[in-house]
Chain A
Amino acid sequence: MWEQIRDNQTRSVILVVALGFMLILLGSFLGQALLGDWSIGLLLALLIWIVMTLVGYFQGDSILLSLSKARKIGPEDIPRIYNVVEEMKIASGMEKMPDIYIVDDPAMNAFATGRDKNHTSLAVTSGLLQKLSRDELQGVVGHEMAHIRNRDVLLMAMCSILLGTIVIIAWYGSRMLFFSGGTRRSSSDGGGGAQIIILLVAVGLMILAPIMAQFIYLAISRKREYLADASSALYTRYPEGLASALEKIAASTEQLKSANNATAPMYILNPFRKSGRVAEDLSSTHPPISERIRILRAMAGNISLAGYESAYNQSHKGGGGIIPGSALVAGDAALKQDHADSAVTPSEKERAREASDVLWKLHKYQEITCNCGLKFKIPPDFHSDHFACPRCGTVHSL
């Protein structure tokens, strides 16, 4: 049942190779057009790519986390999210607990990072913590865990670096062509037909390569989303949790402030979706959300990868499936029946308070409760060493 991971790996490798081929093509043609040498262009392109990959591999997760202004929390801060993550860690058979981060943002989203199983982290927004019940949170965390387990995180990071390299080279290449191209042509008139053809190919590649690369990238990304949904349902044995979480996320109108094009595929939901739009087929990092919800609900009692596959096929007539054949032999599992734990989820108001309290604490605000019941959050740069309660007048010293 865990074999689909390996199968998917080979399929993705082919797509990655296609991306790499694109980079080689672009680099060598640009080199020929600009510098008159294939190998220099190729070498430069590879050098840029290697540097970016090294940085991305070792620093990618911390860059991503700091870009999205995520803050690390411990088991005591919000026990509920810590427990939910640990539950999914156990269900997915992962060995090491990921680090948990919270992003102070009312938008509802989550993402996972990590280069290998010992360096993983999982970030959720405070909006997600506030608005989702425990079961829904479990579904979302299960989805992110599946990304980690299926090694999607590393693959997508590497892909986005390749894509980024292609885009950067194409961009600078086009600038250089405009400036140097003019002077070169006037000084050496006898370039010949070959030079012009190479120039044309280079220009064509510069325009097409980023677009093609984007499409390959998106194809990888969308497939992985479906697989992560399927795995989440398998871990939680309760697809309704993720389905209703997706519904809530889709209904919310907040947009994530700290996302950008590079980090978009890392999230559980495309952070840039325009509200109200459903069909965004080839140009989106994520499959349409209504589609994902429908498939999850169609699984009904048949909780297995095969169940997800048949539900997927119901809405996609023909075409290849999502889950490789080798994974489909595993037995079905029963739907989880008991949902007594929903009683434990605090109300939405309490959850909002819980999340904001943790954020105050993470910003090193000191919390003091007055005898009259009023709560104070003292900023770390408060100048005085005492203050009086405005309601009852009690003086508190810090």
Chain B
Amino acid sequence: MLIAIVVILAIAIVIVLILAGIYNGLVGARNQVKNAWAQIDVQLKRRHDLIPNLTETVKGYMQHERGTLEAVTNARTMAIKASDSGVAAQAKAEGELSQALGRLFAVAENYPDLKASQNFLALQEELTSTENKISFSRQFYNDSVLQYNNKTQMFPSNIIASMGGFKAGEFFEVTDTVERDAPKVSFS
């Protein structure tokens, strides 16, 4: 009799421990997703801060490229506006900003004076690196989301997930085909 109680108690304790482990794993994965998202945010803000510097530097050299410069400025404004309207909308706006910046750097190839400017080179390094950092933090974010989503959907952790209200995370996807299109440069 006593043995039976002890056995049942032991099994109960083991089950509770397993459930706690699964729950903690889910919380950890969700926190990692949140943290990864914060990383992307840091880099996006940094890019927004660098752009006014860039347009200021470039303005003097590129009198004939008003359109390209304005596109960058507008895309930045749109991206800042989209900051708190969900992952998908933000990804779209930031994708457009990347595209506009890419075009600006492509056009800059035609201005040797600009390309020789130390200030411009430093800014170009910073912006390219920020662009890389954005894509690397996006990569890490998506990996974290995948890991988290797997946990919320796979047995047995999905049971705990649905009980604890763990919702699947959203991937940060960029419409690659549009973003990576080669910019059109006119040599007029």
A positions within 8 Å CB-CB of B: 1-2, 79-80, 83-84, 86-88, 90-93, 235, 237, 330-331, 333, 336-338, 340-341, 343-344, 346
B128 interfacial contact with A, CB 8 Å: yes
B140 touches A337 (CB 8 A): no
8 Å CB contact of A90 from B32, B125, B137: B137
Q: Is the beta-carbon distance between B146 and A90 smaller than 8 angstroms?
A: no
Q: Are A86 and B133 in contact (CB under 8 A)?
A: yes
Per the bound structure, the CA–CA distance linking A340 and B127 in Å amounts to 12
With contacts A1-B147, A93-B36 known, is A79 near B125, CB below 8 A?
A: yes
Q: How far is the CA of A83 from the CA of B102 in the complex (A)?
A: 19
Nearest to B98 among chain A residues (CB) is A338
A and B contact pairs by CB, cutoff 8 A, 26 listed: A1-B143, A1-B146, A2-B147, A79-B126, A80-B125, A83-B129, A83-B133, A84-B129, A87-B133, A87-B136, A90-B43, A90-B137, A91-B136, A91-B137, A92-B140, A93-B32, A235-B136, A237-B139, A333-B139, A337-B180, A340-B102, A340-B105, A340-B128, A341-B132, A343-B109, A344-B125
Q: Say yes or no: B139 contacts A87, CB within 8 Å.
A: no
Closest to B179 in A: A338
Chain A residue nearest in CB terms to B132 = A87
Residues in B lying within 8 Å of A, measured CB to CB: 32, 36, 39, 43, 102, 105, 109, 121-122, 124-126, 128-129, 131-133, 135-137, 139-140, 143-144, 146-147, 176, 180
Task: Name A79's contact: one of B102, B109, B122, B146 (CB within 8 Å).
Answer: B122
Is the beta-carbon distance between A91 and B125 smaller than 8 angstroms?
A: no
The answer for the CA separation of A193 and B133 in the assembled complex, in Å, is: 70
Knowing A331-B146, A338-B180 are in contact, say whether A86-B129 is a contact too (CB < 8 A).
yes
B78 CB to closest chain A CB, in angstroms?
Answer: 22
**Are B128 and A344 interface neighbours, CB within 8 A?**
yes
Given contacts A1-B147, A338-B180, contact A91 B128 (CB under 8 A): no
Residue of B nearest to A83 (CB): B129
Residues of B contacting A338 with CB < 8 Å? 180
Known pairs A1-B143, A87-B133, A90-B140; A344 contacts B124 (CB<8 A): yes
Pick the most buried of A93, A237, A330, A343: most chain B CB atoms within 10 A of its CB: A93
Q: A91-B136, A93-B36 are in contact. List 8 more A-B contacts (CB 8 A).
A: A79-B122, A87-B133, A91-B139, A235-B136, A237-B139, A338-B180, A340-B105, A341-B128
Give Cα A338–Cα B99 distance, bound, in whole angstroms: 12
A352 and B143 alpha carbons, distance in the complex (Å): 37
**Which of A79, A91, A340, A343 sits near B140, CB closer than 8 Å?**
A91
Q: Which residue of B lies closest to A76 (CB)?
A: B122
Contact A87 B129 (CB under 8 A): yes
**Is B180 touching A90 in the complex (CB atoms < 8 A)?**
no
- Check A90 against B39 for contact (C-beta < 8 Å): yes
Alpha-carbon gap, A333 to B173, bound state (A): 13
Most A CB within 10 A of own CB, among B32, B102, B124, B128: B128
Instruction: Determine the chain B residues whose CB is within 8 A of the CB of A80 once the complex forms.
Output: 125
* Complex Cα spacing A128 to B176, Å: 33
Q: Of residues B43, B132, B137, B146, which shows the largest number of chain A Cβ atoms within 10 Å of its Cβ? A: B132
Residues of the A chain whose Cβ atoms lie less than 8 Å from the Cβ of B124: 344
Complex Cα distance A79/B127, Å? 12
**Chain A residue with Cβ nearest B147:** A1
Complex-state Cα separation, A337 to B36, whole angstroms: 22
Of all chain A residues, the one with the shortest Cβ separation from B144 is A93
Q: Which of A83, A84, A87, A336 sits near B126, CB closer than 8 Å?
A: A83
Q: Which of B32, B126, B176 sits near A337, CB closer than 8 Å? A: B176
CA distance A391 to B41 in the complex (A): 52
List B contacts of A92 (CB < 8 A). Answer: 140
Find chain B residues with CB under 8 A from A88 CB: 136
Chain A: which residue is nearest B122 at the CB level? A79
Query: Which residues of the partner chain A approach B136 to less than 8 Å between Cβ atoms?
Result: 87-88, 90-91, 235
Q: How far is the CA of A91 from the CA of B140 in the complex (A)?
A: 6
Which residue of chain A has its CB nearest to the CB of B42? A90
Chain A residues whose CB sits within 8 angstroms of the CB of B146 once the complex forms: 1, 330-331
In the bound complex, CA of A346 to CA of B102 (Å): 18
Interchain CA distance A1-B146 in the complex, whole Å: 10
Contact between A90 and B133, CB atoms less than 8 A apart: yes
CB distance from B118 to the nearest CB of A (A): 11
Q: How far is the CB of A330 from chain B (nearest CB, A)?
A: 7
The docked-state distance in angstroms from the alpha carbon of A90 to that of B132 is 10
Point out the residues of chain A lying under 8 angstroms from B180, CB to CB: 337-338
Could you tell me the distance in whole angstroms from the C-beta of B182 to the nearest C-beta in chain A? 10
Which residue of the partner chain A has the closest CB to B182? A340
CB distance from B73 to the nearest CB of A (A): 21
Residue of A nearest to B139 (CB): A91
A93→B133 contact, CB < 8 A: no
Q: How distant is B91 from chain A, measured CB to nearest CB, in Å?
A: 16
Partner of A83, one of B39, B125, B139, B144: B125
